Structure formats: C-alpha cells, structure tokens
C-alpha cells in the first residue's frame, strides 16, 4: 500500500526519504500544492510499514504535517 508523509520543506522530505532508503524502503519525493494555498509542501511517497516509518521520522526530528 502506498503512503505519503507530507513535510513542510524539501529539507525534511529529503532527510525522511534518505532515512527510509537506508532501512530498505523504496521512497521518493513529490511536490504537493497545499490545500489551503499557503504554499507548497513535499511528500515522501513509499510502500511499507507506515507506523515504523513515522517512528523513524519522529526519531530523526523530521517534521510531519500530514499523513495520506
């Protein structure tokens, strides 16, 4: 199942993607236009264990705005 973790910056998205890749996930970054039109965010897109990925992001202080 595909998951998307929305971050507020390319820096957080890149860090999140790289963390997931080191743990064996196939992860990519997508640019997402904000629903409230206050700017753009970035989504880390991957298949795999969502809870484990969220835990990895939190431990690395990757800012999570939304999970899709």
Mean pLDDT of 5-22: 96
Q: What is the per-residue pLDDT for 41?
A: 87
The pTM of the full predicted model, rounded to 2 decimals, is 0.87
CATH topology of domain 2-67: Alpha-Beta Plaits (3.30.70)
**pLDDT tens readout for residues 28-57:** 999 976 655 555 689 999 999 999 999 999
Q: What percent of the chain has pLDDT over 90?
A: 81
Contacts of residue 20, Cβ cutoff 8 Å, sequence gap at least 6 = 27, 44, 46, 48, 53, 56
Backbone angles phi, psi at 11, to 5 degrees: -65, -50
Domain ranges in the chain are 2-67
3-state secondary structure of 52: helix
Helix axes 50-59, 10-22, angle to 10 degrees: 120
């Amino acid at each position: 199942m595909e998951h998307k973790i929305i971050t507020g910056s390319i820096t957080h998205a890149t860090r999140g993607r790289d963390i997931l890749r080191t743990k064996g996930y196939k992860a990519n970054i997508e640019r997402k236009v904000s629903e409230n039109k206050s700017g753009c965010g970035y989504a880390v897109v991957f298949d795999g264990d969502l809870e484990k990925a969220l835990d990895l992001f939190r431990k690395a202080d990757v800012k999570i705005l939304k999970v899709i």
